[in-house]
Amino acid sequence: FCLRHHDVTEVAILGLRIALSECRYQFKNELWDCTNVMYHRGKQISDPNKGFKESSVIFALLGASVSTQISRACSAADLQYSCGCTSAQSSHRADHSKTHTQTDFWGKLRRYSQACQSSLTYGDVMRKKFMERRSLRGQDILWHVQQHNENLGRKLVKKMAIVRCKCHGVSGSCQLKTCWKVAPDFRRVADVIKTKFKMAVRV
């Protein structure tokens, strides 16, 4: 994965660092301050208290952060692969010389909105591929627990996504508006994850 998608890998590693930094921020005044876990180039070096709820908050933050960063990079056209809004813009440039009917216009706006919306899905898909630990897949209960917590993080990103809109019209008028969802501020997601951590019980 890392060799085939080196641009996504760089963004994902940034997501790991942001997650761990945020973890330390969230728990800076707690007995456990998120200092006993470390990632290097996407590879986990040490597990944080295997099987304890501290593990759950870390994997939830990692899942949310990596998904968020990839989604934002997709929307901002920072990736080599054309995705999100940029894929719609590329399509528009490819056929700008053609004569379009009103139906074409509405269809183009609909495709633009759908393409922008897809950045969240792209971030989630690439997060899963990047973080998947094939050597442990399905072998023990911890793998399933980690998957559950990573999924919690990325589901929160989708649930808390914010709506962004763009106006279309002559001279900046807003005769028509297309809207789509984008990744939320990661601090807000981390706040929710910490709250869930406080309420967690061992099962």
User: H/E element holding 43?
Assistant: strand 43-46
120-177, pLDDT tens digit by residue?
Answer: 888 888 998 888 765 455 566 777 778 888 899 999 999 999 988 888 777 667 777 8
Residue 61 has pLDDT above 90, yes or no: yes
Whether residue 33 is predicted with pLDDT greater than 80 in this model: the reply is yes
The span from the CA of 84 to the CA of 15, in Å, is 19
Q: What is the pLDDT of residues 66-119, one digit of tens each?
A: 999 999 998 887 887 667 665 544 444 444 444 455 556 555 556 555 656 678
- Per-residue confidence (pLDDT) for residue 42, from 0 to 100: 46
Predicted local confidence at residue 193, as pLDDT = 94
Domain boundaries defined on the chain: 6-199
Q: Which of 185 and 103 is assigned the larger pLDDT?
A: 185
Cβ contact 58:24 at 8 Å: no
pLDDT for residue 41:
44
What share of residues in the chain are helix, strand, coil (percent, to 5)?
60, 10, 30
Work out the average pLDDT over 178-183.
Answer: 84
- Type of residue numbered 44: Q
pLDDT of residue 87: 52
- For position 38, what pLDDT does the model report? 56
Helices (H), 27-52: none
